[in-house]
Amino acid sequence: MTNSEIVDLLELTGRLMELHEYDTFKTRTFSSAAFNLDKSTADLANLPVEELIKLPGVGKSIAQKIREIAETGRLTDLDELLAKTPAGVLDMFRIKGLGVKKIGTLWRELGITDLAALQTACETGEVAKIKGFGKATQDKILVALEFLQEQKGKLRMDKAAMLAGLLHDELKPHFGRVDISGQVRRKAQEVDTVQLLLQTADPVSAMLTLNSLPNLAQHEADSSPFAWRGQREGFDVRVELLLLPPEQMDRQLFIQTAADAHLQQVGAGGIALLQAAYVSTDTSETAIYGRAGLPYIVPEMREDDFAFRWASRHRTDELVTWDDLRGTLHNHSTWSDGKQSVADMAAYARELGLSYFGIADHSQTASYASGLDAERVRAQQAEIDALNAGFGDSFRIFKGIESDILSDGSLDYDPETLATFDYVVASVHQTLTMSLEKATSRLLRAIENPYTTILGHPTGRLLLAREGYPIDHRAIIDACAEHGVTIEINASPYRLDIDWRWIDYCMEQGVMLSINPDAHNLAGLLDMHYGVAVGRKGGLTKNMTFNALTLSEMNIFLQKRRKRIHDNS
């Protein structure tokens, strides 16, 4: 059992205890333990009770529960709660902004036990009549339900890649060649079909082999003699396995990777790209583009005609790569809600070959994330000075902060405190329900603040979980251009925000983009791979990537910016 799996079980137990109106103290014991252990780096599954009780929020009772989870993979308390909770009520936990108490009220007062019944109750106005709800809450629930319905059967980029890799490894022993294709190869940020190509000269035997594998469940009505369609156990997403003879593998890898809108483009050869793929005797991808009279496009960009417009102004080798990144600027530590110390995070950044690490812990208003007040800012910066003294000239920790953008658009500290940072990432975390006008004006004021260096996750979206607040992207990007503010590509696969479709406009306006992992632990630094993928999808070049600047270039940039602020103050 991983730490996250243990924490999830404890958290769910606490929430269900609250739902069933158990003793408040006992409920809080589970919730508090889950909250504290979420930040722990200890190997919970392998610690004895006497070591577990030394951890914050863990008493003897919770320690014994953790041992039960580690040894059996289950928790008796949770099993008993689940047995008396309708599965549809659990689904209601997925609705953003709908707390446990309100879910309990809906269940007990209206008898709602699934999402369909909840939608009907909202549409008929029954929810609005309940004390403590009202029409505004009812409308928000309807919007959330619509969003959940749209996201059903989809996976985020990271989960889809994991599933594709799992399938690849399970199928490789049975087939001469297995290729990951489709949306996963194209680096789609949300995936509704995980597709692989399987090389076989005998599709009948191949189909029998697939149906003999224990983790695959075929949807016979959706399948055909040359296409197995169904699901892989444990994943709520469509799986498509295409059975192809050896001579068709390269051609179909190209065709299946590209979106239809991309394949319909006609080049100087006078034929569409799809037709070129079928008539080209050389089935390599470069040859297919050449046959159509079109420039070669990398797999990530094969969405529509944008890639060809981009190619008229750029070369493929200009696209940013992982190796181009020289540092990372949006990261958290144990000073706020991260799981590792500044020293450990910086050390891992060095292991990855980076030459600078920027810490941007949460600011004081983010009390839920242990945000830093001015006194703790000074203490953290003293620690960073001591660490930097041991690095020499080859590596540096930059002093940053992720400052909350307050409801009026101001930043979270006074100018004197803001002036102590090397840079500021300005982000919205609270009061997310806003009109386009309110959200845009809030961000514009933050961008106009001379201390804002990077605009963090501009829409606040959480992919497949929460739709971002609406903003006027052009107005925001234009303002960033005017004030010299960089825009973040938040590389967490939960966010991938700013959306890749706005990257080209950013570059046109001269706005640099920073591929920031928003890392809360060591592994989180690797999320920059996802940021690179969506950066390339949007045509991001190395020379417009902020954290592709060398250490020397970054030092000069930040020093000039601080001097300009000082001179204008």
The confidence score (pLDDT) of residue 549 equals 98
| Per-residue pLDDT tens over the stretch 433-447 | 899 999 999 999 999
- Distance, CA of 421 to CA of 380 (rounded, Å): 11
pLDDT above 70 covers a percentage of the chain that reads 100
State mean pLDDT over 28-41: 90
Look up residue 303 and give its DSSP letter: T
Q: What helix, strand, coil percent values describe the chain, rounded to 5? A: 50, 15, 35
Residues 147-168 have pLDDT tens digits of 888 888 999 999 999 999 999 9
Q: What pLDDT is stored for residue 80 in this prediction?
A: 95
pLDDT at 197 over 80: yes
Does residue 60 surpass a pLDDT of 90?
yes
Average pLDDT over residues 242-261: 97
Is the separation of the CB atoms in 451 and 411 below 8 Å?
A: yes
Domain ranges of the chain: 3-151, 153-257, 259-312, 322-568
Instruction: For domain 153-257, give the CATH number.
Output: 3.30.460.10
Q: How far apart are CA 489 and CA 518, in angstroms?
A: 10
Band the pLDDT of 4: cuts 50, 70, 90. confident
The tokens for 307 are 């890639």
What's the average model confidence in pLDDT over 366-374? 92
Alpha carbon 130 to chain centroid, angstroms: 36
Alpha helix ranges (H) inside 317-435: 342-351, 374-388, 415-418
* Nearest in space to 400 (alpha carbons), one of 419, 421, 415: 421
pLDDT surpassing 90 at residue 199: yes
Residue 569, pLDDT > 80, answer no
**Hey, is 93 helix, strand or coil?**
helix
Q: How far apart are CA 190 and CA 192, in angstroms?
A: 7
Mean pLDDT rounded to a whole number for the chain: 95
For residue 95, what pLDDT band results from cuts at 50, 70 and 90? confident
Q: What's the Cα-to-Cα distance from 402 to each of 331, 358, 361, 518, rounded to whole Å?
A: 9, 11, 6, 10
Tens digits of per-residue pLDDT, 70-85?
999 999 999 999 999 9
CA 44 to chain centre: 25
**Half-sphere exposure of residue 92, counting CA atoms within 13 Å on the CB side?**
27
Lowest mean pLDDT among 2-11, 187-196, 477-486: 2-11
Residue 189 confidence (pLDDT)? 96
Residue 38 has pLDDT above 90, yes or no: no
Indicate if the pLDDT at residue 190 is higher than 80.
Answer: yes
Which residues, at least 6 apart from 553, have a Cβ–Cβ distance to it below 8 Å?
none
For the cut 80, the answer to whether the pLDDT of residue 97 exceeds it is: no
Q: What is the pTM for the complete model shown?
A: 0.88
Query: How far out from the chain centre does Cα 157 lie?
Result: 8
Best CA proximity match to 228, nearest among 184, 197, 192: 197
Domain range 3-151, CATH architecture: Orthogonal Bundle (1.10)
Rounded CA gap, 428 and 186, in Å? Answer: 30
Best CA proximity match to 190, nearest among 530, 456, 538, 532: 530
* CATH of span 322-568: 3.20.20.140
* Phi, psi for 264 (deg, rounded to 5): -85, -5
Amino acid 150: pLDDT: 84
